Amino acid sequence: QSALTQPPSASGSPGQSVTISCTGTSSDVGGYDYVSWYQQHPGKAPKLMIFDVSKRPSGVPDRFSGSKSGNTASLTVSGLQAEDEADYYCSSYAGSDILFGGGTKLTVL
């Protein structure tokens, strides 16, 4: 059982928006503004998409956005595209540890 809780699946049609949640505790998600999101395509290494809750690394489309409220963080993918179909993992700093969620499989219908 992963430390952070994510829904196992999410889906949306091309052009739509989808939001993936990540729930932790006041010791991790709620205690620090250090939530990250990773995209992983099958057979590939994860790729950092969002860090520090809502910041995008260079090269990540602005269709990807992050937010946080209390102990729950969210990743929103707007204007869904076929290439967005992948697994998404949240992560949070937790003091001396870095925790991951169980992952959400995003399907573009």
Partner 1 sequence: QITLKESGPTLVKPTQTLTLTCTFSGFSLSTAGVGVGWIRQPPGKALECLALIYWNDDKRYSPSLRSRLTITKDTSKNQVVLTMTNMDPLDTATYYCVHPRGVTCFDSWGQGTLVTVSS
The residue ranges that bind partner 1 (CB under 8 A) are 2, 32, 34, 36, 38, 45-48, 51-52, 57, 89, 91, 93, 96-103
Nearer to partner 1, 71 or 91 (CB): 91
Nearer to partner 1, 28 or 80 (CB): 28
Q: Do 49 and 41 contact (CB within 8 A), yes or no?
A: no
Q: How far is the CB of 38 from partner 1 (least distance, A)?
A: 8
Q: How far is the CB of 59 from partner 1 (least distance, A)?
A: 11
Decide the pairing of beta strands 86-93 and 104-108.
Answer: antiparallel
In whole angstroms, give the CA distance from residue 78 to residue 27. 30
Nearer to partner 1, 36 or 71 (CB): 36
Other C-beta atoms closer than 10 Å to the C-beta of 54 total: 16
Q: Please give the torsion angle defined by the CA atoms of residues 56, 62, 64 and 70, in that order, rounded to the nearest 10 degrees.
A: 60
Q: How far is the CB of 27 from partner 1 (least distance, A)?
A: 13
